[in-house]
Structure 1
Amino acid sequence: MAFGKKERPTVDKDGAALVMRKRDYLADFSGQLGLGLMANLVGQLQYFYTDKVGLAVGSVGVVMVIAKVVDALTDIWFGNIIDHSKGGNMKYYKWMLRMAIPAAVITVMMFTVPIQAGQIPAVAYVLVTNLLITAVIYTMIATPFAATMIVRTQSQEERGKMGIFRAVGNYASGMIIAIATIPVTNMLGGTQLAWIKYGAVMALVVLLTLLICYRNGSKAMRKAVEDDAVAAEPEEEPVEFLTAVKCLFGNKYWVIVLMFNLITSISSAIVASSGAYYCKWIFGNDNLVGIVGAVGLLSTFLGFAMSNIIIGKLGVQRTINVGLLGYALFCVIRCFAPANLVVYIGTSLVGSFIQIPLMCLYGVLLAMAVDYNEYKYEKKLVAVSSGAIGFGSKVGNGLGALILALFLMLGSYDSTLTEATSSMRAAIYGFSNYLPIVLNVGMFLIFRGFDLEEKLPAMRAEVAKRHAQKTGE
C-alpha cells in the first residue's frame, strides 16, 4: 500500500462488495445526462409546436398524450423482452450502443416539422416523431439503463450514490435545457430553423454521452464479473408477459414506485413547460426563463452536495415526505404573490432544493421493489420491473402535456396577443402554482404505504437462507 494512503474498503456496512470507482459514477452520470437531454427537449416541444410552428393547442395536447400512452406501454413489454434475452448482466448495456445513433438522428427530426404542408400533415409528423423518440428509441435505452443499477452492484450504499449521480445528470440536463433553450434559439433568430440548429447540437451531445456510458459501463461490468466482485447474473426461467405483469401489480411496493414516478413526472412535465409561459405572460419576457434557471443553479449544487447527508440522516421515507410536503408549502406561498418575480424565484429556489434529495431515490426505490420480487416470487424480474421508471415517467409526461393543454384551452390561450388576458393568467397560475400543491400532497398520502425500508434486512436474510438451502440440496 502506498505511503499516506488509506486502504479502500472492499465491502459496505452490510457486507456487500464495493465495486464502483469514480469513473464508473461519472460514466453513469453521462448516460443519465444524455437520456435527460432527450426527455427535457421533448418537454419543450409543446411551446415549440404552439408558439414557433403554429400548431393548434388542442391538437398538440392530444397528439402528445397519445404518444406518451403508447410509449409507456412499450416500457413493460420491452422490459419483458430483455428479461427473456440471453447475456446475463451484459445484456443491459448492448442496447445503449445499438440506439445511440438513432437517438441523435431523432433528436434533430423532432424540430423539422413540415408546417408548410398544412396542419394535418404537420400534426401527423409530430405524432410519428414523438412515437419514435419516446416509444421506441428512448425506451430501448432507458429501460435497460434503469436495470443496470440493480445488477451493477449489490451494495445499497453504492446504489444510493448511483442514484445521486443519476439525479444530478437528470437535473443537470433539465437545467441545461431550461437555461439555454429559449435564449439560444432567440439568439439564433427565434425561428423554426433556429430550433433545428439547436437540436442538432444537442443531438451530438446525446450521442457522445451515451457512448461514454456504454463503453465504461460494459467494460467495468465485465471486469467486476471476472474478478468475482459481482456475481454473474444467472439466466432466470422466462416468465410469460401477462404473468410478469400480474406479479408486478401484486407487489404493492412496485405499484407505489410506479405511482411515485407517474405523479412526480406529471408535476415535473408541467414545471418544465410552465416556466416559458409564466415568464412570457406574467413577467412579460420569456428570456427570464434562462435567468431564473441560472439563479437556480446555486440551490441545485447545494442540494446535490447535501443529498447524501440528508438521506443518511432522514432515511428514505422521511426524505420523500419532506420533499413532497416542503415543495407543496412553497407553492402555497407563491399563491399569495403570483406576479412577484422575487417571490417566484425565491420559492422556486427553495422548493427545488427541498426536492433534490427525493430525486436521488428513484433507482433506490426500484431496487428495493425488485428485492421484494425475489422475496415474494423468487424471481427478480429486473428489466420488466424497471419499466416502472419509464412507464410512470412517460405517462406522467404525457398527462402533464395534456393537463397543460387543457388549462390553456380553458384559459382561451392565444399566442398572437401582446398581453395576457385575465383568463390566460388564471390558467397559468392554475398549472404553475395550485396544481403542484394537489399533486405533491396526493403523492405524500400514497407513499405512506411504502414501509419496505425497515423490512429489507430481514427479507434479504430470508432470501439468502433459501439460496443456501437450494445449494445444499
Structure 2
Amino acid sequence: MEAVEKISVGVIKEKTKSKAVKKEAEGMRVSTREKVCYGVGDIGANLVWTTVASFLTIYCTDVAGIAAGVVGTLMLIARLFDGVSDLFMGVIIDKTNTRWGKARPWVLWSAPPLVVSLIMIFTVPNIGANGKAIYMLLVYIFLAAVCFTASNLSYNTMLSLVTTEQHDRNVMNTIRFEFTMIAQLVINVITIPLVHFLGNGQKGWTCMSIIYAIVALGMFITTFAGTKERYKPIKPEVTEKKKKHPVKTIKILCSNKYFILITLAFAIIYTSLGLTGGSRIYYAKYVLGNEMINSTMTLFNYIPTILTIMLIPIFAKKFGKIKALFVGFLFYGAGLILEIAGPVNLPMIYGGLVLQGIGHAALYSCLFAIVGDVVDYSEWKDGIREEGLTYSVTSFGQKIGTGLGTAALGWILAAGNYNGTAAVQPDSAIFAIKSLFLYLPLAITVVVLIIWYLFMGIDKVYPTVRKELDERRKNAKQN
C-alpha cells in the first residue's frame, strides 16, 4: 500500500511538473502581431544604415567633394571606435534592469539621436576640405559608434530575450528580414530618384534624410511599444559562481569555437556586403553607363530574396540553419561567377543578381538566429549567458566588416585613380569598380563556405543543449 502511495505521489508530481513546463512554454509564445512589431524595427534601422552604407560614399565624393581615399580612411577610423563601443554597450545592456526589460528600452532611448545624426551626415557644411573631413569623421562616429550601436545591438539582443522558443525565434527573424529586404529594396530603388526630385545637389540629400529620419523614428517607437521581454535569467544564486568580469567573460567566450566562428563570419560577410552595397551605384554609373540602372539591379537582387526568404524556415527546420546558409552561399557564389562571365551583359548581370538574391535569403533568415543558438550553447557549455556581450562581439565583427568594406571601397577607388568630378573614368578606375563589385566578393564567398562547413556541428548538438538547459531551469525554479 505504501509503495502504491509513493507511486501515486510521483505520478502527481510528474503531472504537476509537466503542466508547469507546458505553461512556461506557452508563456514564451509570441503572437503574430508582436512578431510584426519586432520586425518593423529593422525598417527603421535600414532607413539609417542602408542609406549610409549604399549612398554615403558617392554623396561624399560627388556632392560634398571629399576625396575617395580620404572617405575610406575616415570610415575605417570611425569603425575602430564603433567596434570598441559595441563591447561597452553589450556590458551596459547586460547590467540594465528596468520594468521594460534589458534591451528593449534602449531601442526607444537611442532612436531620437540616431535619426538626427542621419540628417547631419547628409548635410555636410561648406567649410573647406579639412573642415568637411573633420565634420564627417565626428558625425559618422556619433552616428555609428554611439547611436546606431545602442539601437542595433539592443534590437538584436531582444531576439534572445523575447522568447527562448527556437521556432518563434526563427519566425521572428524571418519576418524581420522580410521587412529588412523590403526596406533595402525600396531605399536602393527610390533614393537617387527621390534626391533628384527633391532638388539637385545638397538640398535633395538633406530633404531625403529628413523624410527617412521621420519614418525611422516611427518604426522604432512601434517596436518598443509592441514587444515584450519574456526570458528571465536563472536565480542569481545559481549563476553567481559563474559571473565574472566582462574581460574574463570574453576570454571564456573566446574558448568557444562557435563564438569565434560566428564573429569571424559576421566580419567577413559584412565586408562583402559593404563592398557590393557601396559599389553597385558606381558599377551602374560607370561600367554599365547609367546610374538609374542601379534601381533595376536592386529589383533583380532583392525581389528573389523577399520571395525565397519565406521558404527558408521550412528548409532550416528540416535540414538545419547552417546547411541552409551553406546552400545559400553556393547560390550567391554562382551568381557572382555568372556576372564575371558577362560583366556588361545585362541579362547575365540580372541573372547573377537573382542567384545572389536567393543566397541572401538564407543569410538574412538564419544569421542572427544562429547567434541566439550560440548564446544558448555558451550557457550550456561554460555557464556563461551574457546576451548583450555575445551580441556585442558579433556586432563588433559586423561593424568592423562593414568598416573594412566601406574603407576598401574608398581606397580601391583611389588606387584606380577614380575622380568623382570626371564624366569619364580611366580604365584603372573601371577595373577597381569591377574588383569591388565582382572579384573580391567571390573570394570572400569561398572563405564563408569554409566557415559554415566548420560550423555544422552546432546543429547536431543543439537539441541536447536545449533539453539540458530546460532541465537546469526547471531544477533552479524548484530549488
Structure 1 residue 96: deviation in Å?
1.5
From 183, 190, 194, the equivalent of 1:173 is 183
Describe how 1:213-252 pairs up with structure 2 within 5 A.
213-217=223-227, 220-221=228-229, 231=232, 237=240, 239-252=244-257
- Given that 2:302 and 2:357 are in contact with CA atoms closer than 8 Å, whether structure 1 keeps it comes out as no
Structure 1 residue 125: deviation in Å?
0.5
Aligned mates of 1:123, 1:203 — CA distance in 2: 23
* Cα-to-partner distance string for 1:387-418 (whole Å, 9 max, x where unaligned): 13421221111100111122212211112222
Q: Does 1:448 align with 2:453?
A: yes
Aligned mates of 1:425, 1:234 — CA distance in 2: 60
Structure 1 residue 15: deviation in Å?
6.0
User: Residue 56 of structure 1 aligns with which residue?
Assistant: 67
Q: Does 1:47 align with 2:58?
A: yes
What is the DSSP-based 3-state SS (H/G/I as helix, E as strand, rest coil) of the residue aligned with 1:361? helix
User: Given residue 82 of structure 2, which amino acid in structure 1 is its aligned partner?
Assistant: D
Structure 1 residue 213: deviation in Å?
0.3
What is the DSSP-based 3-state SS (H/G/I as helix, E as strand, rest coil) of the residue aligned with 1:40? helix
* Cα-to-partner distance string for 1:50-88 (whole Å, 9 max, x where unaligned): 111110111110001111121011112210122123338
- Compute the TM-score of the two structures, normalised by the length of structure 1: 0.90
**Identity over aligned pairs, percent:** 25
Structure 1 residue 259: deviation in Å?
1.2
From 459, 463, 466, the equivalent of 1:460 is 466
- In our comparison, the structure showing a higher alpha carbon Rg is 2
User: Given residue 453 of structure 1, which amino acid in structure 2 is its aligned partner?
Assistant: D
Q: Does 1:385 align with 2:390?
A: yes
- Given that 1:11 and 1:18 are in contact with CA atoms closer than 8 Å, whether structure 2 keeps it comes out as no
User: Residue 111 of structure 2 aligns with which residue?
Assistant: 100
* Cα-to-partner distance string for 1:313-362 (whole Å, 9 max, x where unaligned): 43212111111122112211211110112211121122112221221112
Q: Does 1:119 align with 2:125?
A: no
Aligned mates of 1:335, 1:456 — CA distance in 2: 39
Q: Does 1:439 align with 2:444?
A: yes
- Given that 1:271 and 1:432 are in contact with CA atoms closer than 8 Å, whether structure 2 keeps it comes out as yes
State which drifts further: 14-23 or 396-405.
Answer: 14-23
Aligned mates of 1:468, 1:94 — CA distance in 2: 28
User: Residue 8 of structure 2 aligns with which residue?
Assistant: none
- Given that 2:312 and 2:324 are in contact with CA atoms closer than 8 Å, whether structure 1 keeps it comes out as no
What is the DSSP-based 3-state SS (H/G/I as helix, E as strand, rest coil) of the residue aligned with 1:449? helix
From 299, 320, 339, the equivalent of 2:325 is 320
User: Residue 269 of structure 1 aligns with which residue?
Assistant: 274
- Given that 2:334 and 2:355 are in contact with CA atoms closer than 8 Å, whether structure 1 keeps it comes out as no
Residues 142 and 297 of structure 1: is their aligned pair in 2 closer, same or farther, counting only changes over 3 Å? closer
Which structure 1 segments of 5+ residues have no match? 1-9
Structure 1 residue 373: deviation in Å?
1.3
Aligned mates of 1:419, 1:184 — CA distance in 2: 24
User: Given residue 200 of structure 1, which amino acid in structure 2 is its aligned partner?
Assistant: I
User: Given residue 336 of structure 1, which amino acid in structure 2 is its aligned partner?
Assistant: A
Aligned mates of 2:188, 2:474 — CA distance in 1: 52
State which drifts further: 326-335 or 236-245.
Answer: 236-245
Q: Does 1:91 align with 2:102?
A: yes
Describe how 1:4-403 pairs up with structure 2 within 5 A.
18-43=28-53, 44-87=55-98, 90-114=101-125, 116-217=126-227, 220-221=228-229, 231=232, 237=240, 239-403=244-408
Aligned mates of 1:208, 1:89 — CA distance in 2: 19
- Given that 1:75 and 1:390 are in contact with CA atoms closer than 8 Å, whether structure 2 keeps it comes out as yes
- Given that 1:67 and 1:127 are in contact with CA atoms closer than 8 Å, whether structure 2 keeps it comes out as yes
User: Given residue 419 of structure 2, which amino acid in structure 1 is its aligned partner?
Assistant: D
User: Given residue 203 of structure 2, which amino acid in structure 1 is its aligned partner?
Assistant: L
Structure 1 residue 109: deviation in Å?
0.6
What is the DSSP-based 3-state SS (H/G/I as helix, E as strand, rest coil) of the residue aligned with 1:127? helix
Structure 1 residue 176: deviation in Å?
2.1
Aligned mates of 2:469, 2:303 — CA distance in 1: 44
* Cα-to-partner distance string for 1:270-311 (whole Å, 9 max, x where unaligned): 111111100100121111112222344531331123222232
Structure 1 residue 173: deviation in Å?
2.5
- Given that 1:30 and 1:212 are in contact with CA atoms closer than 8 Å, whether structure 2 keeps it comes out as yes
What is the DSSP-based 3-state SS (H/G/I as helix, E as strand, rest coil) of the residue aligned with 2:176? helix
What is the DSSP-based 3-state SS (H/G/I as helix, E as strand, rest coil) of the residue aligned with 2:401? helix
Aligned mates of 1:64, 1:304 — CA distance in 2: 31
Describe how 1:410-429 pairs up with structure 2 within 5 A.
410-429=415-434
- Given that 2:196 and 2:204 are in contact with CA atoms closer than 8 Å, whether structure 1 keeps it comes out as yes
Which structure 2 segments of 5+ residues have no match? 1-19
Aligned mates of 1:375, 1:354 — CA distance in 2: 31
Structure 1 residue 89: deviation in Å?
7.0
What is the DSSP-based 3-state SS (H/G/I as helix, E as strand, rest coil) of the residue aligned with 2:310? helix
Aligned mates of 2:142, 2:323 — CA distance in 1: 38
* Cα-to-partner distance string for 1:8-42 (whole Å, 9 max, x where unaligned): xx999x96755211111111111111112211122
Residues 471 and 159 of structure 1: is their aligned pair in 2 closer, same or farther, counting only changes over 3 Å? closer
Structure 1 residue 182: deviation in Å?
1.3
